[in-house]
């Protein structure tokens, strides 16, 4: 948000010792999710029954620490959020930190406090491995806990509808099954530390341009089959203690006061037991929001009013919000905290030491598994041992790797070798262009002691081309910085980097392009560059991970969680909706600072006319070939699929052998796409599995199609409906591959929403 002000000074108040844990009901047998939340809900209700009205109200609105000095007697850790507890009832202080890539510390509001930075969400999604997501979540959650945070605002799962969205890097791509599975595993990992993880931003926060005012429009069935399905699967798998509603409107109502989303979909249809917290600055009313399902106002200083304090008390007393609803708001908050273990296993009273060296390895493994080898003509990679003179060009590859900006920004171990403040724009107050201290140059020199590895910064194209000509091989590092609160204006690499890559490739036929980008970028030079590596934002050990991939110490295995367009014209929306208007208003405000507030962007609609046919489904529906399809990724070995067997009936099971036909061990991600025969809907990813095979090894795997992917959502039912009949199945290496197909007859069925 643009009005964020970060207070750098730490409040020196003494920290209240955490109250004794509530005695829990301990059962000898593992409990089901429903049983756990029922027990938690019973405990929560028993606590609510002992509270005064003021105590209840105190729990449903939280402070934004940088703007809340003096509002509590307790220590305010500079971070995203703080909610005081009720010591007499054993309800702890809740301290909230961002985000999915590590314990955030935007613009270094906690001076000197570092944390381990995972690669971007898209990099983790590219592993197609829920276990990697879980391990990453468990690692960052343990750091949050050690720093005394008991709620982590991790779990961003907004579906990528547009490659230019500034926050794509935080999320998990364009497919609801992949994104939901990966987010669920990540959340479960965070919560394994007895802290809460928050799935966000519910829902359709699909662009940053005008994010506080945009009205996302889409039909209910399409929404249930796309963005909401990602949330639904993430919640089922990860059971997050809380859900964060989004800034934007959905079909005319603000997401944080949207009864269809919060009451009907989340709480009624999905039986979600935890609490709905607002995004910071996302509340617009008191009674309407409370009655529509919002349970807690977060970071209240960022809203126009403190809606859930005195105003809520008055509305409860006036009967505009029922006493029962207020009790439910509080009970949900406590249910989320109790289920995660926040009451029974309180965070330590003092910050604990963190095993950063061990955690760095977790970040590096995730990067190594998520980096995608997009192109490798003539087997240019891995780097041959005969290559003696290598020049690295651009992207600050001498000192570090790029990260994405905004609330998720981690100040990583080792600090920021490059850090550039912004001078304008919506992100200026809380984002800086930040590099992690992980130098590809240093890592490559260490990996290739007999080679001469040099660096030129790429600012002078002619000098870069000359350096490339004088070497045996050139590696150009191209960067695209993206951030929360802004979209990129287009998907071209900025700052003349296309010309730089083209010039280097013209001078040196053995050129590798390494892309450190928030998401897909256009590659007008693709024909001239034999090898391309998609590194995303590779995190705190990105340089080491890249060196291992480039030298072949690690066999690349990442697969694209998002389609890469061949041209801007292929995309549903070529540029951010409303960006022209916003840019012109910002210019007027800058020219007229005394009246800047009158140049506000009014609410405007974005029609998601593609409906549920997001990403690769859009390409199939419009018969377009992207540059690189969803699911694509090369290896230094080869895999083949054979002996496909498909069985239908009450479900769809797909069994096949995966064979490593090459000479190296490697990991592959076979993907199962399905569509009903004769229907016009594009094929959808219904199952996937990552597996590692030795050279020559073959393994038969059996995957079950996610039933909701076979189904369509039927608002008349309401629920999911599988139309019985014959289904086409493709076992594929990417969303465009139809080389191994079969069919099976699936029974008609309906399922609850």
Q: Which residues are catalytic?
A: 279
CA angle in degrees (0–180, nearest 5) for 29-35-38 = 140
Q: How far is the CB of 25 from ligand BGC (least distance, A)?
A: 32
Q: How far is the CB of 416 from ligand BGC (least distance, A)?
A: 19
Q: How far is the CB of 745 from ligand BGC (least distance, A)?
A: 45
The 10 Å Cβ neighbour count of residue 93 is 23
Q: How many residues lie near ligand BGC (CB under 6 A)?
A: 10
Return the residues of window 524-553 that contact ligand BGC according to CB under 6 A: none
143-182 b/e with 16+ CB inside 10 Å = b?
bbbbbbbbbbbbbbbbbbbbbbbbbbbbbbbbbbbbbbbb
Q: How far is the CB of 284 from ligand BGC (least distance, A)?
A: 15
Q: Verify binding: residue 107, ligand BGC, rule CB under 6 A.
A: no
> Which residue in 162, 175, 215, 279 binds ligand BGC (CB under 6 A)?
279
Q: Which is nearer to ligand BGC, 78 or 670 (CB)?
A: 78
> Which residue in 153, 222, 289, 687 binds ligand BGC (CB under 6 A)?
153
Q: How far is the CB of 743 from ligand BGC (least distance, A)?
A: 43
Q: Strands 698-704 and 653-660, how do they pair?
A: antiparallel
Q: Which is nearer to ligand BGC, 156 or 440 (CB)?
A: 156
To 10 degrees, the CA torsion angle through 632, 703, 717, 608? -10
Q: Which is nearer to ligand BGC, 5 or 463 (CB)?
A: 5
Of 300, 244, 299, 241, which Cα lies nearest the Cα of 277? 244
Q: How far is the CB of 99 from ligand BGC (least distance, A)?
A: 6
Phi-psi region of 414 (alpha: psi -120 to 50; beta: other; left: phi over 0): left
Binding mask 46-85 for ligand BGC (x = CB under 6 A): ----------------------------------x-----
How far is the C-alpha of 296 from the C-alpha of 315, rounded, in Å? 15
Structure tokens at 690: 């990552």
Q: How far is the CB of 198 from ligand BGC (least distance, A)?
A: 7
Structure tokens at 320: 């505009």
Q: Identify any residues that bridge with 243 across adjacent strands, giving them in sequence order.
A: 199, 276
Residues 6+ apart with CB under 8 A from 408: 98, 99, 100, 101, 104, 156, 170, 484
How far is the C-alpha of 753 from the C-alpha of 750, rounded, in Å? 9
Binding mask 556-595 for ligand BGC (x = CB under 6 A): ----------------------------------------
How far is the C-alpha of 219 from the C-alpha of 225, rounded, in Å? 10
Q: Verify binding: residue 200, ligand BGC, rule CB under 6 A.
A: yes
Q: Verify binding: residue 1, ligand BGC, rule CB under 6 A.
A: yes
Binding mask 618-657 for ligand BGC (x = CB under 6 A): ----------------------------------------
How far is the C-alpha of 120 from the C-alpha of 538, rounded, in Å? 6
Q: How far is the CB of 299 from ligand BGC (least distance, A)?
A: 6
Q: How far is the CB of 137 from ligand BGC (least distance, A)?
A: 16
> What is the chain's alpha carbon radius of gyration, rounded to the nearest angstrom?
25
User: 396, 418 in Cβ contact below 8 A?
Assistant: yes
User: 250, 216 in Cβ contact below 8 A?
Assistant: yes
State the helix-helix crossing angle for 176-191 and 130-146, rounded to 10 degrees.
Answer: 40
Q: Strands 275-278 and 249-250, how do they pair?
A: unpaired
Q: Verify binding: residue 332, ligand BGC, rule CB under 6 A.
A: no
Residue 496, SS3 per DSSP: coil
> Which residue in 98, 108, 544, 620 binds ligand BGC (CB under 6 A)?
98
Query: By CB neighbour count within 10 A (0-12 exposed, 13-18 middle, 19+ buried), where does 404 fall?
Result: buried
Of 648, 726, 654, which Cα lies nearest the Cα of 688? 654
Of 209, 189, 169, which Cα lies nearest the Cα of 536? 169
Q: Verify binding: residue 487, ligand BGC, rule CB under 6 A.
A: no
Q: Verify binding: residue 407, ligand BGC, rule CB under 6 A.
A: yes
Q: Which is nearer to ligand BGC, 164 or 280 (CB)?
A: 280
Q: Verify binding: residue 280, ligand BGC, rule CB under 6 A.
A: yes
Binding site for ligand BGC (CB under 6 A): 1, 80, 98-99, 153, 200-201, 279-280, 407
């Amino acid at each position: 948000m643009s009005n964020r002000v970060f207070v750098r000074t730490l409040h020196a108040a003494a920290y209240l010792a955490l109250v004794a844990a509530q005695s829990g009901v301990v059962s000898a047998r593992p409990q089901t999710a429903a049983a756990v939340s029922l027990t938690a809900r019973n405990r929560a209700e028993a606590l609510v029954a002992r509270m005064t009205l003021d105590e209840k109200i105190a729990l449903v609105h939280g402070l934004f620490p940088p703007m809340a000095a003096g509002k509590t007697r307790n220590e305010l850790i500079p971070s995203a959020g703080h909610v005081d507890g009720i010591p007499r009832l054993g309800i702890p202080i809740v301290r909230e930190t961002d985000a999915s890539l590590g314990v955030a510390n935007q613009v270094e509001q906690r001076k000197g406090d570092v944390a381990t930075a995972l690669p971007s969400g898209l990099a983790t999604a590219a592993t197609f491995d829920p276990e990697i997501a879980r391990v990453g979540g468990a690692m960052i959650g343990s750091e949050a806990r050690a720093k005394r945070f008991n709620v982590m605002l991790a779990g961003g799962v907004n579906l990528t509808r547009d490659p230019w969205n500034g926050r794509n890097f935080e999320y998990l791509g364009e497919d609801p099954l992949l994104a939901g599975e990966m987010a669920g595993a990540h959340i479960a990992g965070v919560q394994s530390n007895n802290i809460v993880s928050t799935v966000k931003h519910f829902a359709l926060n699909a662009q940053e341009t005008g994010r506080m005012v945009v009205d996302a429009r889409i039909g209910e069935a399409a929404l249930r089959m796309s963005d909401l399905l990602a949330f639904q699967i993430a919640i089922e798998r990860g059971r997050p203690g809380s859900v964060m509603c989004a800034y934007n409107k959905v079909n005319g109502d603000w997401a944080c006061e949207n009864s269809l989303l919060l009451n009907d979909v989340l709480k009624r249809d999905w039986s979600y037991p935890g609490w709905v917290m607002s995004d910071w600055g996302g509340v617009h009313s008191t009674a309407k929001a409370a009655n529509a399902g919002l349970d807690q106002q977060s970071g209240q200083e960022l809203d126009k009013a403190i809606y859930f304090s005195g105003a809520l008390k008055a509305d409860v007393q006036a009967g505009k919000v029922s006493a029962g609803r207020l009790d439910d708001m509080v009970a949900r908050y406590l249910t989320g905290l109790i289920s995660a273990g926040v009451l029974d296993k309180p965070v330590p009273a003092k910050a604990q030491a963190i095993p950063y060296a061990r955690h760095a390895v977790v970040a590096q493994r995730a990067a190594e598994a998520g980096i995608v080898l997009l192109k490798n003509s003539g087997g240019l990679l891995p780097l041959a041992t005969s290559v003696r003179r290598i020049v690295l060009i651009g992207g600050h590859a001498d000192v570090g790797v790029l990260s994405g900006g905004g609330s998720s920004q981690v100040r990583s171990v080792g600090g920021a070798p490059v850090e550039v403040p912004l001078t304008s724009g919506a992100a200026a107050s809380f984002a800086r262009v930040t590099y992690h201290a992980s130098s590809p140059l240093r890592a490559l020199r260490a990996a290739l002691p007999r080679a001469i590895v040099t660096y030129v910064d790429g600012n002078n194209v002619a000098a870069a081309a000359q350096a490339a000509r004088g070497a045996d091989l050139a590696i150009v590092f191209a960067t695209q910085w993206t951030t929360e609160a802004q979209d990129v204006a287009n998907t071209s690499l900025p700052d003349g980097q296309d010309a730089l890559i083209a010039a280097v490739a013209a001078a040196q036929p053995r050129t590798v392009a390494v892309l450190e980008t928030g998401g897909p970028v256009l590659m007008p030079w693709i024909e001239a560059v034999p090898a391309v590596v998609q590194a995303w934002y590779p995190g705190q050990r990105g340089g080491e991970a890249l060196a291992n991939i480039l030298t072949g110490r690690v066999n690349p295995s990442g697969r694209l969680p998002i389609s890469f367009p061949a041209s801007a014209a292929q995309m549903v929306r070529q540029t951010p909706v409303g960006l022209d208007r916003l840019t012109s208003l910002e210019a007027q405000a800058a020219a007229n600072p005394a009246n800047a507030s009158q140049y506000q962007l009014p609410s405007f609609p974005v029609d998601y006319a593609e409906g549920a046919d997001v990403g690769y489904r859009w390409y199939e529906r419009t018969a377009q070939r992207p540059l690189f399809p969803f699911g694509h990724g090369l290896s230094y070995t080869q895999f083949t699929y054979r002996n496909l067997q498909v069985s239908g009936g009450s479900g769809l099971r797909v069994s096949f052998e995966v064979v490593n036909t090459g000479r190296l061990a490697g990991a592959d991600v076979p993907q199962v796409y399905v569509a009903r025969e004769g229907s016009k809907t594009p094929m959808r990813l219904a199952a996937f599995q990552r597996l590692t095979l030795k050279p020559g090894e073959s393994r038969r795997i059996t995957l079950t199609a996610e039933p909701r992917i076979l189904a369509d959502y039927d608002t008349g039912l309401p629920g999911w409906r599988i139309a019985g009949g014959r289904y086409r199945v493709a076992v594929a290496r990417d969303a465009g591959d139809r080389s191994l197909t079969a069919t099976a007859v699936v029974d008609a069925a309906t399922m609850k929403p």
